[in-house]
Amino acid sequence: MGTGRVVLVGAPLGNAGDASTRLREVLASADVVAAEDTRRLLRLARDLDITVSGRILSYFEGNEERRTPDLVAALRDGAVVAVVTDGGMPSVSDPGYRLVRAALDAGFPVTAAPGPSAVTTALALSGLPSDRFCFEGFLPRSGSGRRSRLRELTAEPRTLVFFEAPHRITAALTDLAATFGAEREGAVCRELTKTYEEIRRGPLGELAAWSAQAEPRGEITVVVAGAPAGPAERPADDDLRAAVAEREAAGDSRRDAIQTVADMYGLRKREVYTLVHAAR
């Protein structure tokens, strides 16, 4: 077996000044550089005043599965394969995991030139508890899938971190407010370390309203406070019915809305069901 190895390269989120000396060395010396976007890689190289001497290959979601065997073949030939994404650490909701798994299965070492991470940067800037957190990546694209995933997280006590696309951020924040409660604290972190960096902090209901008006663009990370310890105090019957109706209006089936409200307040599903149907 040759001396091939994989190096995961943590690229700057936006500010090239965050690039480490080791990142420069790896990109300049690697035999193969697998880049999520080859144009961004070349732009970063220009900003860092380095020359990428190795072979550059595109390696993104659309071709990751097909190209991974080629990269493993390069490892067998003794190549150092660097993996770089548009920003942050490869394999964290970005290309890289398939190659890591394939390289390890084939017996090749995997290491990292660590760098910035949008997950921990947003968490630190959010002002929310950071001693324990849970990274959930991108929420499902469909409204029903997104709401189903959020219902699973209703009682999660750790601070939650999500990635979200700009064209879905308002819908995501609206569903977060409907599922977790409009008063749950959150933060929307946009374009971290870039010229137009923006961080909005506040209750989820307010963040959803702001997003609908502002239509934020760019790379977005959302941080949400975890569920309070223990079930919330039981609201009045009319408030429970209103909570179910609010979730139905957001797209939940009545069954799912009743289950979510019951979970939120530590009630039996039958109790909420009876209250809702007694009023009809």
The residue ranges of every structural domain in the chain are 5-116, 119-224, 237-278
84 in helix, strand or coil?
A: strand
pLDDT band of residue 230 (cuts 50, 70, 90) is: low
pLDDT given at position 188: 98
Better pLDDT: 200 or 181: 200
- Quote the pLDDT of residue 93: 86
Q: For residue 189, how many other CB atoms are within 10 A of its CB?
A: 23
Instruction: Determine the topology of domain 119-224 in CATH.
Output: 3.30.950
Amino acid (one-letter) located at 171 = A
CATH number (3.40.1010.10, 3.30.465.10, 3.30.360.10, 1.10.287.130) of 5-116 reads: 3.40.1010.10
What per-residue confidence (pLDDT) applies to 43?
96
What pLDDT is recorded for position 261?
83
Percent of the chain exceeding pLDDT 70 equals: 97
Q: Is the pLDDT of residue 233 over 90?
A: no
Q: In the chain, at which residue ranges do the beta strands (DSSP E only) sit?
A: 5-9, 32-35, 55-58, 80-84, 110-113, 133-138, 159-164, 185-190, 198-203, 220-224
From 15-24, 77-86, 162-171, 251-260, the region with the lowest mean pLDDT: 251-260
On the question of pLDDT at 2 being above 80, the answer is: no
Q: What is the pLDDT of residues 129-138, one digit of tens each?
A: 999 999 999 9
Alpha carbons 129 and 123: distance in angstroms, whole number = 8
The average pLDDT across 16-44 equals 96
Out of 14-28, 175-189, 250-264, pick the least confident: 250-264
pLDDT at 150: 93
pLDDT given at position 12 = 96
Burial readout 241-279 (b: 16 or more C-beta within 10 A, e: otherwise):
bebbebbbebbbeeebbbbbbbbbbebeeeebbebbeee
Structure confidence at residue 1 (pLDDT) = 39
User: What average pLDDT does the chain have?
Assistant: 92
Whether the pLDDT of residue 243 is over 90: the answer is: no
- Say what percent of the chain tops pLDDT 90: 75
Q: Is the pLDDT of residue 279 over 70?
A: no
Mean pLDDT of 146-161: 93
d(C-alpha 189, C-alpha 31), whole Å: 36
Q: Judging by beta carbons within 10 Å of its beta carbon (0-12, 13-18, 19+), is residue 228 exposed, middle or buried?
A: exposed
**pTM score of the predicted model:** 0.81
Neighbours of 11 (CB within 10 A): 27
| pLDDT at res. 249 | 83
Per-residue pLDDT band at 280 (split at 50, 70, 90): low
Give the pLDDT score at 39.
96
Determine which of 57-66, 90-99, 172-181, 261-270 has the lowest per-residue pLDDT on average: 261-270
Across the range 92-102, mean pLDDT stands at 93
